[in-house]
Amino acid sequence: MTRTISQAELRNGSAGVMDALEAGEDFVITRNGRPVGELRPIATRHNVTSAELKKRLARFAGTANAADERAEIDAAFGEDRLDD
């Protein structure tokens, strides 16, 4: 849920805002009652080993090459093409 806070609340309570950001909260910052910006946590990145990546992508290895993939698509949807 997004919390709305004023510029003064951000300035005076920045440590609490940072803690809330780390906990996943979003903020809309206002100045004189008007929204002027958003604060949201940065999406975390996960380092993946090459072995894990190969494991995750293995499910896409159903066809050997582009020609086989095209034949599979044509078999499923027909050969109605605009251009080749």
Residue 59: predicted pLDDT:
73
Residue 46 — φ and ψ, nearest 5°?
-115, 125
Instruction: State the Cα–Cα distance between residues 61 and 52, nearest whole angstrom.
Output: 15
Give the pLDDT mean for 5-30. Answer: 96
**What tens digit of pLDDT does each residue of 40-52 get?**
999 877 788 888 8
**What tens digit of pLDDT does each residue of 37-82 get?**
999 999 877 788 888 888 877 777 665 677 887 888 888 888 776 6
The b/e string for 44-56 (b: 16+ C-beta within 10 A; e otherwise) is eeeeeeeeeeeee
Whole-structure pTM value = 0.53
CA 64 to chain centre: 30
Hey, what domains does the chain have and what are their CATH numbers? Answer: 2-39 (3.40.1620)
Q: HSE of 6 in the Cβ direction (CA atoms, 13 Å)?
A: 6
